[in-house]
Structures are given as structure tokens and as C-alpha cells.
Amino acid sequence: MTFLQKMKEGFIRFMQGRHGNDNLGMVTLFAGLILSLVGAFGGGIVFTILGLALYIITIFRMFSRNHEARLKENQKYIELTSNVSTKTRQFVKRMKNRKDYKYFKCPNCKVLLRLKRGCGEKDITCVRCGHQFKEKA
Ligand SMILES: [Zn+2]
């Protein structure tokens, strides 16, 4: 067995039962990298310390044997960010389609609805709450 193979097997054995990396880990790792770079290029000691703190959190989470707690943290992170990324995706789609559709909110429940442009005034029934109103597009 070569030295590299021994190293690899040793690492695999070391990582057994440990949490490893996940989505939140990637974010803390990159945020730490960016902060420490900002700190290194004149951002000041505060950025360097924050970057180091994020590295420590990343490493702590990776080597943690408390799987359940780490999974919960990652789940929480995904929940928090999926809302933001859904909103961003919807916004980009709206911007792309804004010439073909008029977007508006239901005055009752505020859900976002759309009408094909140039269809004139329509009677709208909200898909979520059933509220009826008129809208021109
Ligand atoms: Zn509604």
C-alpha cells in the first residue's frame, strides 16, 4: 500500500461517524474565505476574526459526531434560504414575462396573479381565496 492510500484510508476512518460537509457547511466555508480575504486586503482585523470564526464553525460542524443537531441546523438553513431563492426565481420570471403578462395581487389574500396583456377587463376569481374582482390588462 502506498503512502497516499494509507493517508486516504486513515482519513476515511477518521471521518466515519462524523457529520462531514453539507449546504450550510459550504456557505460558512465560502463566507469565511471571503471575509478573511477582505480582511487580508485592507478590510481590517474584524473581517479576519469573523472569517476565522466561520472556519472554526465549519470545521466543528464537519467533525461533529452529533449528526442530529447538524442535520437540524442544515434543515433550518435550507428552509430559510429556499424562501428567498423561490422569491428570486419568481421575480426573474416575472421580469422576463412582463411584456406578455400583467401581474397583480389579489386584494383579499395578496396572492400573485397574472393576466395576458391585451385581453381587456376581466372578471377575476382568485385561485386561493375565491375572491371576485375586476382587473384590466
Ligand atoms: Zn385571493
Distance, in Å, from the CA atom of 77 to the CA atom of 43, rounded to the nearest integer, reads: 27
pTM for this structure?
0.61
Ligand 1: centre distance to CA 118 (Å): 23
Distance, in Å, from the CA atom of 112 to the CA atom of 127, rounded to the nearest integer, reads: 10
Over the stretch 34-57, which tens digit does the pLDDT of each residue have?
A: 999 999 998 889 999 999 999 999
| pLDDT-derived band at 100, boundaries 50, 70, 90 | very high
Q: How far is CA 54 from the centre of its chain?
A: 17
Distance, in Å, from the CA atom of 37 to the CA atom of 49, rounded to the nearest integer, reads: 11
What does the mean pLDDT of the chain come to?
A: 92
DSSP, collapsed to helix, strand or coil, labels residue 127 as coil
Helix, strand, coil distribution of the chain in percent, nearest 5: 60, 15, 25
Ligand 1: centre distance to CA 114 (Å): 12
Ligand 1: centre distance to CA 115 (Å): 15
